Amino acid sequence: MRRVMIALLSAIVAGLMLIPGSVSAGTLTMVVEDSEGDLGFGVDMKTGGLARYYTEGAPIAGAGYLDLVSTWLSLKKDTYTFGIEAAAALPEEGSALPEGIKLVEWAMWIDPSPYNVLINPVPALFLIALRYDGSSYSSFILDYATFLTAPVAFSVEGSTLQLQFTSAAIGDLALEWWSPLVRAWWGTLGSAGYWFVDAVDLPLVDGYSYLDLPWPPP
């Protein structure tokens, strides 16, 4: 897996999707761009990536607020800020979700190593997410070791969302790999009734699609 980590890091840098990290006023920041118009679903059983894309006319295809176009993570002192810029403004509270969708999440997973569902399905360490259920927004951090959750600060401004959490909230973990994803639920929350509908377009490594980005920025 160490070889994969090194190869993935090299592929990310070579892929030119990484906007160089910056240190400004004591803040370390990493920003990564993603293609617009690439909402998908299912698992490609050869690579572990998204299997196929929604076609025009599918109810979810027009939900540009689920389409990640850039994402970032920053650290200032002991506070992390995770953000997503979507292709369209997020819904006003009370606005209906696409037909058949019960809940959506803009989320970041913290993993112990780069995740691939086929060859490295590692258990996540933490989940930080913003949820919208067609009525209101909520945000939380989930510790997978205890399955306890706690609220986190969030903001939604047009097509931009941000969540903040502290180093203490993740047990002062030396964060190394983070995975920004957008998830849509058509089933009951907590069931397997969901798809990941967008992720960062990372280059394949040895023919496999990994979901994680390195931290700190290369």
Domain ranges (residues) in the chain: 2-214
Sequence-distant (≥ 6) Cβ neighbours of residue 168 within 8 angstroms: 78
Partners of 49 in the beta sheet? Answer: none
Q: Residue 16: its pLDDT value, please?
A: 43
Question: If phi over 0 gives left and psi between -120 and 50 gives alpha, with beta otherwise, what is residue 40?
Answer: beta
For residues 6 and 55, what is the distance between their CA atoms, to the nearest angstrom? 35
Query: pLDDT tens digits, the chain, 218 residues: what are they?
Result: 666 566 666 665 554 455 545 555 678 999 999 999 999 999 999 999 988 888 878 889 899 999 999 999 999 999 999 999 999 999 999 999 999 999 999 999 999 999 999 999 999 999 999 999 999 999 999 999 999 999 999 999 999 999 999 999 999 999 999 999 999 999 999 899 999 999 998 888 889 998 899 898 87
pTM above 0.75, yes or no: yes
Tell me how far the alpha carbon of residue 74 is from its chain's centroid: 14
For residues 185 and 192, what is the distance between their CA atoms, to the nearest angstrom? 9
Residue 140 identity: F
Closest C-alpha to 195, from 206, 178, 216, 181: 181
Gyration radius of the chain's alpha carbons: 16
Q: Residue 27: its pLDDT value, please?
A: 85
Q: Residue 10: its pLDDT value, please?
A: 64
The token duo for 144 is 């997978």
Q: Residue 57: its pLDDT value, please?
A: 80
Q: Residue 52: its pLDDT value, please?
A: 84
CB of 85 closer than 8 Å to CB of 160: yes
